[in-house]
Amino acid sequence: LIGYYVYKEQLINGEPVSDQLQRAMVIHDPDKLHALIGGLEPNTEYGFRVNAYNRKGDGEFSSSKKIMTGGLLGLSHSGGNSNRI
């Protein structure tokens, strides 16, 4: 095991907005058990999946972990949110 890929997808009512997952992060430490994902929109639902990789290639995706970012409606926001998964 070399590390992990973390993918994100924006959701609306629990369903993906797009057919494509976005790679949000590469974790090069196989012992790391958490990740801080930046650039998320406030008050937005996301799904996250992880897969491991090694010298032979990529493993299967995990099941999706759904989260809703925090924030208040009607307030201007810059810089995005971060959530730990």
Domain positions in the chain are 3-71
- Residue ranges of the chain with per-residue pLDDT less than 50: 76-78
Rounded Cα distance between 42 and 15, Å, is 18
What does the angle CA 48 – CA 14 – CA 25 come to, to the nearest 5 degrees? 15
Handedness of CA 38, 52, 17, 15 (dihedral sign): negative
Handedness of CA 17, 62, 81, 30 (dihedral sign): negative
pLDDT tens digits for range 28-44: 999 999 999 999 999 99
Does this model's pTM top 0.85? My answer is: no
Which of the listed CATH numbers 3.90.870.20, 2.160.10.10, 2.40.10.10, 2.60.40.10 matches domain 3-71? 2.60.40.10
